[in-house]
């Protein structure tokens, strides 16, 4: 054993399974070889790409004298992912790289030991190793290519904990994994998944770390300085304009949504700060506009906007997004062409809407020939030979798949409040009549117009008091959200809105039914008709009135869903936590490794949202009721947002949809048993929380470790104090002192990034793609008998109803957008999955725990399928009723109305 220690290094001997007390036979011929038993186990568990490991790497080590350490050869297998498509400049650069690689402009790696050299007090380093055969393999068309590099190390080198990479080529390349072979501890895995920039752009060596996690205080001496240097590089210095190749994470205000240089109508207020509080976004450092020094100049599509290089879409994701964007471009281009031929128009009948799916936009409108003649980009269409059947024809939304007329039914209208696109607004009614929280000094009398006589006929013989006591009354209340903005919204062209309240009753059969809709307008004078209550239809006229009222509720709901629950509560509020994680948590930190898959693509999709969705005159302003005031509504909601109520159990309790119950697995009990989002969500929440608890307690067996973890504390502190600076003084922020605190915070973040976002995002086209079911805006008020429009309404109520919905142009633009947003890409990673599932962590116990989590997720999927076949659950099973699959974890690519990705990736 002493001789082996001398040859290979004492630290390797002590940590290696090769040199247990039973390994006497092996010690007779000491070698640097990987563990074959361990290798087989990793291959069996592997589902993602990992660098190939040689079976035959066996180097016989001669016996050397004790005075001089042996020089040993080890090898790296490096997996590089090729670009599928290259532009002309990239192709030329790649060819040059292939030529110059042979004369020293190559890719150089160097191993860094976890140990310090006792003489120099610096980390031990290997010789430099060059990636071999780059020029020979440069033309391979495979998605992944393996290269090798060889190094010389002393027998006392110890265990490599980091590798530095220098790219002397002109082109960047994507480095997926590095696997080191030849050390006695077995193969060492370095999951990289990062772009390696050319040295000419970024002179410093890139640092990649082994998959073994370390808390800051447990960092081996040889890695401490590298750990700090890498974090410093990621933080930057807060100055300068960011280049697209940079990897710098920093904060900025939302001061780039407007474009005042193009006109005052495109100026928008800055979000963030005392006046208009908002979370922070990723800093780009662009110069200010010419007309407003506080507004950042814009980068308009299709030009790229900065996010750190590793946050950008991978190629398969970008291909999917570009095809979706191509559809959007064509759908937006068609309206502009149409407007040159004829004025925008209303749908003439429901058959016009149906034709968008059966015949396509151009064919139905007779514009296909004119389109091909006048389209400035005919090459776009030539890529799609059957364009009328593909690019310009919409898929039939899922809402029409079982019952084409289901959207007209009251029970379906109510069912979508608990199992549709937005199941987060419904709350249990605790007080009748409902009460506003707005300031009456500003908004006038705020008493509800709802009276007991409005709803008593629909309570199945109950009194209102009994219905409240027995948890039978529910409400979706948008009164306070919209009322402060209604005067301005209704002054916009093509926008008419009320502040709505909708009451629902849970019938004895377990089906939710709408029983009253309150419509409120600002109280502008003593004779103003500011409040109105409609109840279910009793004749033909009231039936159409009721359908119009439900459509106005849906338009309110679409705005709150998109701006508050979807954008604000998932996309925007998570961005600061992601920025802080990259800035303060080393890639070696176990919490970074836990969060990593749940941060994928979010900064990129948020950047694209600022560029084309939430910007001035963007999709949200064009297609949704609030128009140019959309982001101000989002900011208003942020002022009442609380992180401590974002977990699913806390949110359900806050809305009265559940009550605390310590006898239940999740600590709460639903008051409405058939609440698909709530019941399925609690399953997912429980699995996430159990997994996080196991993970946290593994690394933090004592809470003092959490309090003393400077990276962890800096991450949480910066997320709150910088990323959410406008709310940093609120006393509801959870503390981070114990393992339970950390479990709660991390479970909430993972829940929001995965299941919460999935429940809010992937049903947008399946439900909203049929505009009458879920109009994003309304263009007509509901007429009363003395109104000039009342006669038109009575004479042709269907025509009036369609004229109140979005126009043809508005509808097809909206449909194109939600089609993109509802699509899963081929490279989606779903809950319970990860890249390199068996090697993402070097801790075998944690890998095993992750596999148990994955198995639990698969069992949950089976249970949801069972529930969707249970006829007693009428909100998810029945004639014409869509199953609730939004929280089913897995999905195929495309629009499936199911699937829970790990992260906010679209």
Tens digit of pLDDT for each residue in 271-294?
999 999 999 999 999 999 999 999
For residue 899, which phi and psi values (nearest 5 degrees)? 100, 135
More confident residue, 788 or 391: 788
Mean pLDDT of 550-565: 98
**What tokens were used for 564?**
């508050």
pLDDT at 55: 42
> What would the DSSP string read from start to end of 445-460?
-------HHHHGGGST
| Residue 520 domain flag | yes
DSSP state of 825: P
Percent of the chain with pLDDT over 90: 75
pLDDT at 343: 57
* C-alpha torsion sign, points 352, 354, 360, 361: positive
pLDDT tens for residues 876-905? 999 999 999 999 999 999 999 999 999 999
More confident residue, 142 or 193: 193
Of 797, 794, 757, 811, the residue nearest 555 (C-alpha) = 811
**Banded model confidence at residue 798, pLDDT cuts 50, 70, 90:** very high
Of 531, 530, 607, 536, the residue nearest 572 (C-alpha) = 607
Active-site choice (454, 565, 571, 666) = 571
Domain that holds residue 92: 71-214
pLDDT at 603: 98
| Residue 102 domain flag | yes
Active-site choice (761, 773, 868, 902) = 761
Active-site choice (582, 666, 757, 875) = 757
> Last residue of a domain, which of 738, 768, 796?
796
pLDDT at residue 24 tops 70:
no
**Banded model confidence at residue 254, pLDDT cuts 50, 70, 90:** very high
pLDDT at residue 259 tops 50:
yes
> Last residue of a domain, which of 190, 214, 238?
214
More confident residue, 453 or 525: 453
pLDDT at residue 623 tops 90:
yes
Q: In 853-894, at which residue ranges do the beta strands (DSSP E only) sit?
A: none
**What tokens were used for 282?**
């990723």
pLDDT at 7: 35
pLDDT at residue 41 tops 50:
no
**Banded model confidence at residue 67, pLDDT cuts 50, 70, 90:** low
Percent of the chain with pLDDT over 70: 85
Give the C-alpha separation, 474 to 507, whole Å.
11
pLDDT at 374: 46
Mean pLDDT of 859-867: 98
Is 202 one of the annotated active-site residues of the chain? no
Give the C-alpha separation, 362 to 334, whole Å.
8
pLDDT at 314: 81
| Residue 636 domain flag | no
Is 757 one of the annotated active-site residues of the chain? yes
**Banded model confidence at residue 148, pLDDT cuts 50, 70, 90:** very high
> What would the DSSP string read from start to end of 97-166?
HHHHGGGT-SEEEEEEEEEE-TTT-SEEEEEEEE-TTHHHHTT--SSEEEEEEEEEEETT---EEEEEEE
pLDDT at residue 26 tops 50:
no
pLDDT at residue 12 tops 50:
no
Which range is least confidently modeled, 17-21, 133-137, 623-627? 17-21
- Angle, helices 350-358 vs 808-821, to 10°: value is 40
Q: Tell me, what CATH number does 449's domain have?
A: 3.10.450.60
Burial 297-323 (b: 16+ CB within 10 A, else e): ebbeeeeebbbbbbbbbbbebbbbbee
pLDDT at 762: 98
**Banded model confidence at residue 356, pLDDT cuts 50, 70, 90:** confident
pLDDT at residue 17 tops 70:
no
Enumerate residues 6+ apart whose C-beta is below 8 A from 572.
Answer: 278, 279, 281, 606, 634, 638
Enumerate residues 6+ apart whose C-beta is below 8 A from 529.
Answer: 521, 784
Place of tokens 């010389």: 152
Give the C-alpha separation, 263 to 628, whole Å.
14
| Residue 324 domain flag | no
> Last residue of a domain, which of 214, 247, 264?
214
- Residue pair 426/475 in contact (Cβ under 8 Å)? The answer is yes
| Residue 155 domain flag | yes
Place of tokens 């099973």: 877
Mean pLDDT of 229-247: 97
**What tokens were used for 39?**
């290798």
Q: How far is CA 854 from the centre of its chain?
A: 20
Which range is least confidently modeled, 22-26, 396-400, 558-562? 22-26
| Residue 464 domain flag | yes
More confident residue, 816 or 401: 401
pLDDT tens for residues 665-684? 899 999 999 999 999 999 99
pLDDT tens for residues 726-768? 999 999 999 999 999 999 999 999 999 999 999 999 999 999 9
Mean pLDDT of 621-641: 97
Active-site choice (169, 202, 561, 566) = 566
pLDDT tens for residues 455-475? 999 999 999 999 999 999 999
| Residue 354 domain flag | no
Looking only at the bridges linking them, the beta strands covering 160-167 and 206-209 are antiparallel
More confident residue, 659 or 835: 659
pLDDT at 36: 36
**Banded model confidence at residue 328, pLDDT cuts 50, 70, 90:** low
Of these ranges, 69-78, 205-214, 332-341, the one predicted with the greatest mean pLDDT is 205-214
pLDDT at residue 547 tops 90:
yes
| Residue 292 domain flag | no
- Residue pair 202/233 in contact (Cβ under 8 Å)? The answer is no
For residue 206, which phi and psi values (nearest 5 degrees)? -80, 145
**Banded model confidence at residue 813, pLDDT cuts 50, 70, 90:** confident
Mean pLDDT of 814-840: 92
pLDDT at 358: 79
Enumerate residues 6+ apart whose C-beta is below 8 A from 135.
Answer: 98, 99, 101, 102
**Banded model confidence at residue 371, pLDDT cuts 50, 70, 90:** very low
pLDDT at residue 43 tops 50:
no
Is 566 one of the annotated active-site residues of the chain? yes
Q: Tell me, what CATH number does 91's domain have?
A: 2.60.60.20
Which range is least confidently modeled, 84-88, 574-578, 724-728? 84-88
Burial degree of 60 (CB within 10 A; 0-12, 13-18, 19+): exposed
Give the C-alpha separation, 748 to 728, whole Å.
18
Mean pLDDT of 311-335: 64
Mean pLDDT of 339-358: 78
pLDDT at residue 390 tops 50:
no
* C-alpha torsion sign, points 290, 291, 293, 297: negative
Report the DSSP beta bridge partners of residue 191.
177
- Counting the structural domains of the chain, the total is 2
Of 533, 438, 453, the residue nearest 483 (C-alpha) = 438
């Amino acid at each position: 054993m002493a001789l082996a220690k001398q040859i290979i290094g004492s630290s390797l001997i002590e940590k290696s399974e090769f040199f247990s007390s039973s390994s006497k036979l092996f010690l007779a011929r000491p070698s640097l070889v990987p563990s074959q038993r361990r290798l087989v186990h990793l291959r069996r568990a592997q589902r993602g790409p990992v660098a190939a490991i040689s079976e035959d790497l066996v180097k016989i080590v001669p016996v050397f004298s004790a005075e001089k350490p042996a020089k040993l050869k080890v090898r790296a297998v490096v997996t590089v992912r090729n670009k599928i498509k290259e532009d002309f400049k990239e192709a030329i650069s790649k060819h040059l790289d292939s030529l110059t690689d042979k004369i020293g402009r190559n890719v150089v790696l160097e191993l860094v030991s976890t140990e310090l050299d006792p003489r120099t007090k610096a980390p031990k380093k290997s010789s430099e190793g060059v990636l071999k055969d780059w020029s020979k393999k440069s033309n391979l068309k495979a998605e992944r290519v393996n290269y090798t590099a060889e190094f010389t190390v002393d027998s006392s080198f110890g265990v490599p904990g980091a590798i530095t990479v220098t790219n002397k080529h002109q082109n960047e390349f994507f480095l997926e994994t590095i696997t080191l072979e030849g050390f006695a501890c077995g193969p060492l895995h370095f999951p990289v998944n990062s772009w390696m920039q050319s040295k000419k752009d970024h002179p410093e060596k890139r640092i990649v770390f082994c998959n073994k996690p370390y808390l800051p205080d447990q960092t081996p001496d040889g890695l401490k300085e590298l750990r700090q240097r890498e974090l410093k590089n990621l933080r930057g210095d807060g100055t300068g304009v960011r280049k697209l190749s940079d990897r710098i994470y920093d904060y900025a205000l939302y001061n780039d949504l407007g474009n005042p240089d193009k006109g005052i109508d495109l100026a928008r207020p800055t979000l963030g700060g005392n006046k208009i509080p908002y979370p922070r976004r990723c800093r780009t450092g662009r110069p200010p506009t010419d007309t407003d020094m506080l507004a950042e100049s814009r980068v308009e599509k299709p030009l790229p906007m900065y996010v750190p290089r590793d946050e950008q879409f991978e190629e398969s994701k970008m291909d999917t997004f570009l095809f979706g964007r191509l559809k959007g471009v064509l759908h937006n281009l068609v309206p502009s062409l149409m407007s040159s031929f004829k004025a925008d128009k209303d749908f003439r009948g429901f058959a016009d809407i149906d034709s968008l799916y059966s015949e396509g936009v151009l064919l139905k409108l007779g514009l296909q020939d004119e389109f091909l003649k006048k389209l400035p980009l005919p090459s776009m269409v030539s890529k799609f030979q059957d364009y009328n059947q593909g690019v310009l024809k919409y898929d039939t939304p899922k809402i029409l798949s079982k019952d084409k007329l289901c959207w007209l039914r009251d029970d379906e209208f109510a069912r979508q409040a608990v199992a549709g696109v937005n199941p987060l607004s419904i709350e249990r009614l605790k007080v009748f009549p409902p009460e506003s929280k707005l300031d009456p000094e500003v908004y006038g009398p705020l008493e509800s117009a709802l009276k007991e006589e409005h709803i008593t006929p629909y309570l199945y013989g109950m009194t209102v008091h009994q219905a409240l006591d027995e948890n039978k009354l529910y409400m979706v209340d948008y009164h306070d959200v919209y009322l402060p903005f209604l005067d301005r919204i209704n002054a916009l062209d093509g926008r008419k809105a009320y502040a709505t309240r909708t009451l629902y009753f849970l019938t004895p059969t377990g089906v939710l039914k709408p029983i009253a809709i309150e419509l409120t307008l600002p109280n502008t004078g003593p004779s103003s008709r500011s409040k109105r209550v409609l109840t279910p239809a009793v004749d033909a006229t009231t039936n159409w009135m009721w359908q119009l009222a439900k459509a106005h509720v849906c338009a309110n709901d679409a705005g709150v869903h998109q701006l508050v629950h979807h954008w604000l509560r998932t996309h925007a509020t998570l961005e600061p936590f992601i920025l802080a994680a990259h800035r303060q948590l080393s890639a070696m930190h176990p919490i970074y490794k836990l969060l990593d898959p749940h941060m994928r693509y979010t900064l990129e999709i948020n950047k694209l949202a600022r560029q084309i969705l939430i910007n001035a005159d963007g999709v949200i302003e064009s297609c949704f009721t609030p128009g140019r005031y959309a982001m101000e509504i989002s900011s208003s909601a942020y002022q009442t947002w609380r992180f401590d109520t974002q977990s699913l159990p806390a949110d359900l309790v806050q809305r009265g949809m559940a009550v605390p119950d310590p006898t239940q697995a999740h600590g709460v009990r639903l008051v409405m048993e058939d609440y698909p989002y709530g019941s399925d969500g609690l399953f997912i929440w429980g699995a996430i929380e159990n997994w996080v608890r196991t993970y946290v307690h593994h690394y933090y067996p004592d809470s003092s470790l959490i309090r003393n973890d400077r990276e962890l504390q800096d991450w949480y502190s910066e997320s709150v104090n910088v990323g959410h600076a406008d709310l940093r003084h609120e006393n509801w922020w959870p503390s981070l002192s114990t393992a339970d605190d950390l479990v709660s915070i991390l479970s909430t973040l993972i829940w929001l990034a995965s299941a919460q976002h999935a429940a809010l995002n992937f049903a947008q086209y399946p439900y909203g793609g049929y505009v009458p079911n879920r109009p994003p805006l309304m263009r007509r008020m509901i007429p009363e008998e003395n109104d000039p429009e009342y006669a038109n309404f009575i004479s042709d109520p269907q025509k009036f109803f369609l004229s109140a919905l979005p126009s043809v142009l508005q509808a097809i633009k909206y449909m194109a957008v939600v089609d993109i947003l509802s699509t899963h890409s081929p490279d989606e990673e779903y809950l319970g999955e990860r890249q390199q599932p068996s090697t993402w962590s070097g801790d075998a116990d944690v890998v095993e725990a992750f596999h148990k989590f994955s198995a639990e997720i698969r069992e949950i999927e089976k249970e949801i399928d069972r529930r969707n076949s249970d006829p007693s659950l009428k909100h998810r099973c029945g004639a014409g009723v869509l199953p609730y699959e939004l929280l089913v974890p897995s999905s195929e690519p495309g629009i499936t109305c199911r699937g829970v990705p790990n992260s906010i990736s679209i």
